[in-house]
Each structure stands twice: as C-alpha cells, then as structure tokens.
C-alpha cells in the first residue's frame, strides 16, 4: 500500500492528541462544554470579552507544559523519516507533533505556543512563565496587546494553497482523529481522491465522511498507528 517513494499527505485532528490527555471538541466531555464556541473561538467573542478568550487560551497553553506526545504522534514521525515525500497537515494547535519529531508540518488552525499582534502582524512563540498568566502580553515589536495565534471560526485557515497543492499530487491521503465536521479540512479527502489518491481513515468512531474513504481502521490512533506504520514499512521493504 505504501512504498518508500509513495507521496503521502496525513491530516490529523483532535483525536490523535486525545490519548495525551487533550480533550477533543465534539465528544460528550468536549472542551466546549464549559464554554459556547461563539464566546471563546470567534473574532466577535474576542471583541466582546477579550479577557474571557485570553484566559481560556492561557489555560490551554499552560496545559501544553503538562502533556506528552503519545505513540500515535511518534509513529507518524517514524513514517515521515521513512518516506521520501511526506506532509503532515494538522488541525490541532498543540505542539505534540513537533515534540514527537515531525518536521514537514502545517498547522492550518494556528498554534497555541504562538501569540500574534493585530496591529503590526508580529507572530512570536511565547511560552515563558510570564507569558502564561491571565494578564495580557504586549507585542515585543510595537507594544500592542497580543491575541492567540489561533484561527477562529469565520477566519481563514493557514497555508491552504500549500495544502491543496500537496493534495493534488499525493498517492495516499490518511485522515487520523478527525470527525470530518469542519471545513475545509473535511473536504481534503475529496481533493485527494479526485486526483486518484487512495484514502485511509484511522478514527475511534466513523467520521461524518466515512463512506468516501477506501480504507477505515477503527480504534485509538495511539494503538493502531504504531502497528500500521510498522506493517507498511515492513511490506514496503519486502517488495
């Protein structure tokens, strides 16, 4: 199914970080339970109550210091090292893929580690203790108040041109830990398959777009991915 020269694009969602202790968005115990999405993950929410939004994201940024990559993140980094042509697109804003060793990585919904200035556009990773309190942080470039470098609902995902270019050329597309609920990521499956790519889904539950996948491996990515990656590499080296 996957040889060393197979061009692979992987899309991950909150499910791949679930076994690291980061809650997903749409499970019953989902992160949004305590907050309405429109209050904490929209530009309007930020305008209406910046302190609520800032404190919500500071809580999630502080959590990064307490969690570790799980075997699913680690298996993807191993697959990248083996393949000649690999791109990892993640909807997640945690840094667990980087910490597991992934390099060719696009965070299409932004990154918790980084803060962004709405006045001068400066973006900077700021994770020191003084950057993680409920007090706003000032831009090191112009002094204005910084916002989370997160793509909120109604905002444009990042690097979509690069992503769609890779989807149009890949041989295999693998979606892992995503419910297929949020556009444009939920449409990446179709962009890959319309160019003839084989499409694989690894998920705890069947996602909304399950009927369009060629293969579906149901279960926890932290358990399935190490086995699948080991099998793909073994089968490929046998060929």
* Residue 72 C-beta: closest distance to ligand APR, Å: 7
- Residue 156 gets which letter from DSSP? P
- Nearer to ligand APR by Cβ, of 12 and 58: the residue is 12
Rounded Cα distance between 138 and 145, Å, is 5
Q: How many residues does this entry show for the chain?
A: 239
Rounded Cα distance between 100 and 90, Å, is 14
Indicate whether 148 belongs to the interface with ligand APR (CB under 6 A): no
Q: Which pair of tokens denotes residue 238?
A: 């046998």
Rounded Cα distance between 8 and 160, Å, is 17
Q: Which of 203, 228, 229, 233 binds ligand APR (CB under 6 A)?
A: 203
* 107 part of the active site: no
What is the number of H-type helices and E-type strands within the chain?
Answer: 9, 9
Binding window for ligand APR (CB under 6 A); candidates: 7-15, 42-50, 99-107, 209-217: 7-15
Indicate whether 94 belongs to the interface with ligand APR (CB under 6 A): no
Binding window for ligand APR (CB under 6 A); candidates: 8-16, 54-62, 132-140, 187-195: 8-16
Question: How far lies 187's CA from each of 107, 153, 192, 195, 226, in Å?
Answer: 16, 16, 9, 13, 26
For residues 155 and 134, the answer to whether their CB atoms sit within 8 Å is: no
Size of the site for ligand APR (CB under 6 A): 22
Give φ, ψ of 30 to 5 degrees: -55, 160
Residue 116's nearest CA partner among 90, 93, 92, 150 is 150
For residues 149 and 114, the answer to whether their CB atoms sit within 8 Å is: yes
- Nearer to ligand APR by Cβ, of 91 and 199: the residue is 91
Binding window for ligand APR (CB under 6 A); candidates: 9-17, 52-60, 78-86, 141-149: 9-17
Indicate whether 182 belongs to the interface with ligand APR (CB under 6 A): yes
Q: Which of 8, 18, 89, 229 binds ligand APR (CB under 6 A)?
A: 18
Indicate whether 177 belongs to the interface with ligand APR (CB under 6 A): yes
Indicate whether 209 belongs to the interface with ligand APR (CB under 6 A): no
Catalytic residues: 109
User: Which residues bind to ligand APR, rule: CB under 6 A?
Assistant: 13-15, 18-19, 24-26, 91, 109, 177-179, 181-182, 203-205, 207, 220-222
């Amino acid at each position: 199914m996957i040889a060393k020269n197979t061009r692979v694009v992987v899309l991950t969602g909150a499910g791949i970080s679930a076994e690291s202790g980061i809650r997903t968005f749409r499970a019953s115990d989902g992160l949004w339970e305590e907050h309405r999405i429109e209050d904490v993950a929209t530009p309007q929410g930020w305008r209406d109550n910046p302190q609520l939004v800032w404190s919500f994201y500071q809580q999630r940024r502080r959590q990064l210091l307490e969690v570790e990559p799980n075997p699913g993140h680690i298996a993807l980094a191993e697959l990248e090292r083996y393949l000649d042509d690999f791109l990892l697109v993640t909807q997640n804003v945690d840094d667990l893929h980087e910490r597991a060793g992934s390099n060719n990585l696009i965070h299409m919904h932004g990154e918790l580690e980084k803060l962004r200035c709405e006045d001068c556009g400066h973006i900077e990773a700021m994770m020191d203790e003084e950057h993680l309190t409920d007090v706003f942080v000032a831009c090191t470039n112009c002094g204005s108040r910084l916002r989370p470098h997160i793509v909120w609902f109604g905002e444009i995902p990042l690097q979509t041109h690069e992503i769609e270019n890779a989807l149009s050329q890949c041989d295999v597309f693998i979606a892992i830990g995503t419910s297929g609920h949020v556009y444009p990521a939920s449409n990446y499956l179709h962009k890959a398959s319309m160019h003839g790519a084989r499409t694989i889904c690894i998920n705890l539950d069947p996602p909304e777009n399950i009927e369009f996948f060629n293969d579906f491996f149901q279960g926890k990515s932290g358990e399935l991915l190490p086995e699948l990656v080991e099998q793909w590499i073994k089968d490929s080296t046998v060929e």
